[in-house]
Structure 1
Amino acid sequence: MGGLGNLTVTGLGLFVGAGADPVYDPLMVQGLEITEQTISHVANAPSAGSAPGELTFSAPGNMALWADWVRASLYLSDYLGDLKWKACDEDRRVTLSYGGSGHFYNVQKPPIECFQHQLPLMRAYMDQRPDRSPEILTQLGFPTPYFVMLLGLQGGPNRYTFELIAITQVLAAHTAMVVKHHLACRRPDRIGAQIMPMIPTPAHASFPSAHATEAFAVAEVLNALVESRSDNYADFKKRQALISKLAERIAVNRTVAGLHFPIDSWAGAILGRAVGQIILSKCGQREGVQGYRYCANGKLDFFLSEFSKDSNPKYGVEKEGCCAVGPSDLFNWLWEQASNEFELSR
């Protein structure tokens, strides 16, 4: 499931253990029991104190009290509740919409000949395996450490930034699976005998690439975050360039590994950009999503320079309306926590 393959069926395995309750050994449990029996009598005296106050009903601020995996479950439910899709058998097309305000992603299943045209491009990429193998192997799951490197993040001070990155990847992967399932496109090694993957081929469809979806969704969110905190990142434009270039490299690494066609990366990058914009809208950082239609051109490769042009008819990419997305209290809370981690005066 893109980076979800090693993280349980929902992807929330990434959060499990973070903020979870400790497990005591039998000796500790026995010690606690003895202590309770020994000292509890001092709390039995009558007290005139009032009952403790209740937590505020349905308040975003309560999120800080929950375990990480519980927050992740809430983000996932909040996001998926408004995600809708339609699969049209007649022209083998899938459209995604959000919140009933129009679709933001429109993609048609490429014919088998389109994928066959991609095979020579893939064969040429395989020569890069000796140089890229360490990256490919360490990006089997979510490649969070690579984004961390670009922003100088630290586990303690930036815990909520890590959480924002993680849930963006999880949501992007879930969205990609919807499209993959309906389009049902074969992997490169099933179409061309000359393509021999260097790592196991995941048991789901090829088009679009979930790794590309995840990487470009994170790039969209982090590019907005570093720009909003230009007081902390005075060189934010350079950081943005690095973040976008990293997303491209993560996507292309999957082609080098023999798992994805370049057009898979095109479809995934377009979807990832949209997912990132949905998350930013739910965080209160924009008002909607730019919609795109993609019709794959099997004779062309995937390049960040071409993707960055937005509308690019030569490569089969066209803008197609906008989709309004309202803010979410949960995501707005997360954005505020992550943003506050870059306060220079704290």
Structure 2
Amino acid sequence: MASPDSLERHLQSAWLARGPLAVALLPLSWLFVALTALRRGLYDLGLLRTHRLDVPVLVVGNLIAGGAGKTPTTLALLGLLRRQGWRPGVVSRGHGRVSTGIVHVDAGTPASQTGDEPLLLHLRGGVPVCVGEDRVAAGHALRQRHAEIDILVCDDGLQHLRLARDAQVIVFDERGAGNGWRLPAGPLRDPMPRRVPARSVVLYNAAAPSTPLPGHLAQRGLAGAVPLHGWWRGMAPDVEALAALRGRPVLAVAGLAQPARFFSMLRERGLDIVEHPLPDHHDYADLDWPAGTADVIVTEKDAVKIRPERAGAVRVWVAALDFRLPAGFEQDLLALLPRRLPQPD
């Protein structure tokens, strides 16, 4: 019997073309389209209510299923907002967590309770983070605990219609809209728009635009590496540490939706890697690395689930992403946000 991971990757591959599997799933896709259209219609008619929080809201999301680069985009946006004088906080569903309800994230909270991405946003972004299925309730809870927050970033909230937003960032990767069909026959959560939606900016986490929508290209690469124990202490990534791994076998481990991107970036830096892809949001309950492994390199999304004391004699390195927003994107986004009012110190 095929593993859930292999089935997921098979489905991801099927979404790139209109082949036999995608065609077989079309009846389920039509049902999904009908249900999502009904839900959106209920909001349009006012039978389901959209709630506005007392601070501006910026939503980051993607139209397709699977990771398209939302987390590095959100981290870059937090940096931009702080440079502009805002005091941001983050709300997220907390995909993959075993908990329910509202959970405030701190450095000691296990990723299993928060989801790996919210914990990473808190550790790397240095901002308050709250997770909850209801992003409106999470936003209220975060504001009650952190009155200094004057803007909320909603991670992966494009389809969360209950939360009103002032602006949204739509992220695409190399897959674009895939085969153009809706789930589960294709990757689209929402219909592909013919033009950029109102109050939206498109960002391509890719080498070139992957849809007809006008947008901006993110600049991405590897900032360097840092030992796992140093990463947990907040050490900055070092380019020389990454270069020092050249010439010796390294096990590259990635629990991502699109691990090939990570592996390609490592090879571009001259590393001789053995690929070890894992399911997206892998929990790392067991470190099942091959016997005799000396060096392992992981992403930051993986690192939040591996405490240094668990690594034993294996040298674990964390490769940090250098993800930059182009100036034109920053200007377009800031123009959508309300003017920031001076805050008392």
Q: Does the alignment reach a TM-score above 0.5?
A: no
Bigger strand share: 2
Q: TM-score, normalised by structure 1?
A: 0.22
Bigger helix share: 1
Larger Rg: 1
* Greater relative CO (CA pairs within 8 A, separation 6+): 1
